[in-house]
Structure 1
Amino acid sequence: MGTSFLGLPTIGSVTEGRLSRPCRGPRLVLFLSLMAEKKGFEEFEPIFQEIKADWEQENAGDGGDADRRPFLIYVHALDSSRLGIVATDYHFHTWERVVPVPELEDLRDDIGIGGTWSEFVDYLLSSLSAGDVKLIMSGQPTSGSGATHAKLIALKSKGLPRISFSLNRVINSSANDAMADLALSLLKACKKKQNEVVRERDHSMRLMGILSSERERNDSLQKQLDALSFLSKRKAPKSKTSDKPSIASDTCNNYDSILASEMQESSEIPSTKDSHSVKISQRAAPVSRRAKVRGVSLQDIGDIDDN
């Protein structure tokens, strides 16, 4: 069995200038799945933590001020395939570690975290940023050289797998470089957060301006609606009162017509009586009534003509 140019086992050997057929077993499937899953730290955000160091030995911790100084932890991506860890108290102890992707794969297998690579990176981020992070140092603090070993332990929550990294101590110029890089990275992170805060503030101010203009517009529309409703309420009684005089005038006209008709009827009744009286007065009185008239001699018209 040979090995292909990909590092995979092959069946047989190289014969007649031809490579034997590569293996199609589980290792090839695993290799292809690993190649298909992109692994790296392109979206890894830097992590800054302030913690208090603990000593591994029970009788340790009498190193004076070196035991009481807090440590600043800095976890960042050096590139797409390496993770850098720095821990320093800016005085006596400075620790660092460079963790490549293969070592993280081994750590992933050791602690038993399944899922995809992105899920593992998220778990690592949450454990180092929001979990219980401790720096455990070991050595003889009273010997003058301080601690010789350190271990960074992160626990996301109780009952979950614990992440642990062994750190290497750096001294002299290497320690100064590590502390300088940490300070500059912290400054960049603070400026980035400040710019984000400024952008969010400007965005909120724009939103507040839009909100205030909308409120003014709504208030103006509400005032217009109130004015229209007030005018409609004022117009409604006027129409009713205007109807009432029309009704009253109609009734008055009816009363006037009734009175006029009654007066006409009353005026017509005496006229008929007068006509009857006139007709009656124009009639000649009977002869018997004429003979009784005293002091008047009545003669026939024919007798007068004869005389």
Structure 2
Amino acid sequence: MGFEVHLKPIFGHPKVEWASGNASTPPRRFLFHVHASPDSPHLIIHVTDFHCDTWEAVRSVSQLDDMRDSIGIGGSWSDFIDYLIASIKSEDVKLVLEGHSNSDGAAYAKLVAQKSKGMPVISISLTKLVGTAGSEAIANLSLQLFEEFKSIHEFYVEEKQRSIELSKVISAEKERNASNQSQLEQYSKRQKLQRISSSDKVDVSGPFSNGLKSSPDKEAARDINSKAVANRVVPAYRRAKVRGALLQDTEEEHK
């Protein structure tokens, strides 16, 4: 049972209010940092205004389990940790201040978080840090905040570079598609012109060629008929008389 795997550093800006509601001076702006201890299974919370109010809360796994029972959150341990993280990340996290210490600032404080209205309320009491402890907490929070910013910035740079490369790929793909589309349109135009040209040739030769030109079979039949007519012997009674010719009797006829 633990939360190291579930919990990554969380930074937030809580809404600050006084428990009595009649503070003489308006509260400064605060920043909180929630993280898991790298040395032991503890949840650590720091809240500071980077001036005179710095607070801390350290909760062990057993203390968090007791909190779960007191709040009345059922389900598994993992479900409770998920709800705790979701509540701390919500927009309704409050830092409630109370009383006045001898030094500047409040005497007591607690961090109140709720995932949404009507859901169980997470309330964690805070201990005020003074002197070197407060300075170290502020220094650690500042360093962790810079590390988080650096990590986000590196991720942003990587994503930007990936986006540039992807844009280049998309641009090249668009150019390739445009080229293919142009070639396809040119090919389609050539095919259309060839079909029109072929259709025109058929229209010009078709209607007139039927009367001027016969098929090879018809030509062969015509040649055969012509030869048959030329070779046919015309009967004597149908032969034409030769006009202007002189008829002479042969010797046999006079005998």
| Shorter-normalised TM range | 0.7 to 0.9
TM-aligned CA deviation for residue 279 of structure 1? 6.8
**Aligned match of 1:68 in 15, 21, 27?**
27
Q: Using a 3 Å threshold, how does the CA distance of structure 1 residues 125 and 279 change in structure 2: closer, same or farther?
A: same
1:209-262 deviation line (CA, Å, top 9, x unaligned): 1111111111111111111111110110111122234423343224xx8xx99x
Aligned to 2:55: 95
Q: Secondary structure at the match of 1:146?
A: coil
Aligned to 1:277: 241
**Aligned match of 1:85 in 41, 45, 60?**
45
Contact 1:52–1:69 at 8 Å: present in 2 too?
no
> Take 1:240 and 1:104, find their aligned partners in 2: how far apart are those partners?
90
Contact 1:131–1:157 at 8 Å: present in 2 too?
no
TM-aligned CA deviation for residue 131 of structure 1? 3.8
Aligned to 2:209: 249
> Take 2:99 and 2:177, find their aligned partners in 1: how far apart are those partners?
72
> Take 2:21 and 2:171, find their aligned partners in 1: how far apart are those partners?
64
> Take 1:282 and 1:180, find their aligned partners in 2: how far apart are those partners?
155
Q: Using a 3 Å threshold, how does the CA distance of structure 1 residues 147 and 197 change in structure 2: closer, same or farther?
A: same
Q: Secondary structure at the match of 1:190?
A: helix
Q: Secondary structure at the match of 1:113?
A: coil
Aligned to 2:94: 134
TM-score, with structure 1 as normaliser: 0.69
**1:150 maps to 2:96:** no
TM-aligned CA deviation for residue 68 of structure 1? 3.1
Q: Identity percentage over the alignment?
A: 36
Identify which of structures 1 and 2 has the higher relative contact order when contacts are C-alpha pairs closer than 8 Å and 6+ apart: 2
Q: Using a 3 Å threshold, how does the CA distance of structure 1 residues 192 and 72 change in structure 2: closer, same or farther?
A: same
Residue type matched to 2:188 in 1? S
Correspondence list, 1:170-249, <5 A: 170-247=129-206, 248-249=208-209
RMSD (Å) for aligned C-alpha atoms: 3.1
Contact 2:96–2:109 at 8 Å: present in 1 too?
yes
TM-aligned CA deviation for residue 193 of structure 1? 0.6
Contact 2:15–2:93 at 8 Å: present in 1 too?
no
Aligned to 2:4: 41
TM-aligned CA deviation for residue 188 of structure 1? 0.4
> Take 1:177 and 1:252, find their aligned partners in 2: how far apart are those partners?
113
> Take 2:64 and 2:140, find their aligned partners in 1: how far apart are those partners?
23
Q: How many residues align?
A: 237
TM-aligned CA deviation for residue 277 of structure 1? 3.0
Q: Secondary structure at the match of 1:69?
A: coil
TM-aligned CA deviation for residue 70 of structure 1? 0.3
> Take 2:155 and 2:246, find their aligned partners in 1: how far apart are those partners?
128
> Take 1:49 and 1:216, find their aligned partners in 2: how far apart are those partners?
47
TM-aligned CA deviation for residue 127 of structure 1? 0.7
TM-aligned CA deviation for residue 118 of structure 1? 2.2
Aligned to 1:125: 85
> Take 1:183 and 1:282, find their aligned partners in 2: how far apart are those partners?
150
Please list every run of 5 or more consecutive structure 1 residues that lacks an aligned counterpart in the other structure. 1-37, 286-300, 303-307
TM-aligned CA deviation for residue 39 of structure 1? 2.3
Higher Rg of the two aligned structures? 1
> Take 1:103 and 1:213, find their aligned partners in 2: how far apart are those partners?
59
Aligned to 1:55: 18
> Take 2:191 and 2:79, find their aligned partners in 1: how far apart are those partners?
66
